[in-house]
């Protein structure tokens, strides 16, 4: 599902205009991004938790040449689905 499709579905379900739904989706994305950048987790009970973690530097290979390369350490975003979401999707 694309962002435009998500906005359309939210507008439909919440009886909002597409403009208002897009503002809400953008606000959600901005708040989650800012919270994760600040080092805070974002927990939506029943849906899941967005967290950040550190990925260590590691060795990899250039797939074109086979040459060994070093992949630098970085911060990554993780999502752990909540119980209700798991049950709803998994049956």
Tell me: the pLDDT tens digits for 6-51? 999 999 999 999 999 999 999 999 999 999 999 999 999 999 999 9
pTM, two decimal places: 0.81
Rounded CA gap, 11 and 30, in Å? Answer: 19
Q: 67, 91 in Cβ contact below 8 A?
A: no
What superfamily does domain 3-82 belong to in CATH? IHF-like DNA-binding proteins (4.10.520.10)
For residues 54-60, average pLDDT:
96
The 3-class SS string of 55-86 reads: ECCEEEECCCCCCEEEECCEEEEEEEECHHHH
**Which DSSP helix (H) or strand (E) runs through 69?**
strand 68-71
> 7-36 burial, b for 16+ CB within 10 Å, e for fewer?
beebbeeeeeeeeebbeebeeeeeeeeeeb
């Amino acid at each position: 599902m694309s962002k435009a499709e998500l906005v359309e579905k939210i507008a439909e379900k919440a009886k909002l205009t597409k403009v208002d739904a897009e503002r809400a989706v953008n606000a959600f994305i901005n708040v989650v991004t800012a919270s994760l950048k600040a080092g805070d987790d974002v927990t939506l009970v029943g849906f899941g938790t967005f967290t950040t973690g550190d990925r260590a530097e590691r060795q990899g290979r250039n797939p074109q040449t086979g040459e060994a390369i070093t992949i630098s350490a970085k911060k990554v975003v993780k999502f752990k689905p909540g119980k209700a979401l798991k049950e709803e999707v998994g049956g």
